[in-house]
Amino acid sequence: MSNINSRNGIAKALLVLLLGVCLLGSTFMAYADADEVNVGVSENPAYLTESSGIGTYGTSKPGVSDLWDCDLDGKYSFSGQGAYNSLYTDYMFLGQKSYAISVYNNNGYNDELTCEVYKNRPLLTDTVIKEFVATGLVNTDVTVSGLTKSEKIYIKFIAPCNFSGWIN
């Protein structure tokens, strides 16, 4: 009798272990799929947004070494979605005196997406040098000019957002 109880206990333990492995595997697969939505942009955690009074300098603002030289590397494409958190381009861009930016707002016809182009100012607060609104289901093309080739810029997409586009 104790031999049968021992087998049942082992079978139950193996079943629980197998279910745990299956659940763990599906969690990782769901995370990987969700991560592939954002290409070339990153989230700014909600606790680092302007409404908290802390500012926008979270883990997602591109670092000073995250550089894309449009003169050497060419056009940079991006896409992403954020329901509650604003998104930033993964790189700061340099190498041009003027940049063409195109943003397609994937949200509905009446939805607007606010985009801000920042100029990086080491040791100072970065400044918004261009703000534009991309209306839903429309390509919005803007030009940012008046820069030197060494000045660095990046783009912030204000949540909620669902977009694709490029900078060159």
Record the tokens describing residue 78, joined without a space. Answer: 């991006």
Cα R_g (the chain), whole angstroms: 23
pTM of the model: 0.69
Residue extents of the structural domains in the chain = 1-36, 41-167
| Angle formed at CA 71 by CA 69 and CA 75, multiple of 5 degrees | 75
User: What confidence tens digit (pLDDT) does each residue in 20-40 have?
Assistant: 555 444 433 333 334 456 787
What's the mean per-residue pLDDT of the chain?
79
Chain centre to alpha carbon of residue 149: 25
pLDDT for 121-152, tens place per residue? Answer: 988 999 999 999 999 999 999 999 999 999 99
108 — pLDDT class (breaks 50, 70, 90): confident
pLDDT for 2 equals 54
**pLDDT classification of 69: cutoffs 50, 70, 90:** very high
Q: What percent of the chain has pLDDT over 90?
A: 55
Residue 88: which pLDDT band, with cuts at 50, 70 and 90? very high
Residue 93 has pLDDT above 70, yes or no: yes
Most confident stretch, 9-23, 34-48, 101-115: 101-115
Nearest-angstrom CA–CA distance, 56 and 84: 14
Q: Looking at domain 41-167, which CATH architecture does it have?
A: Sandwich (2.60)
Q: What is the DSSP string of 71-111?
A: HHH--EEEEEEESSS-EEESSEEES-SSEEEEEEE-S-TT-
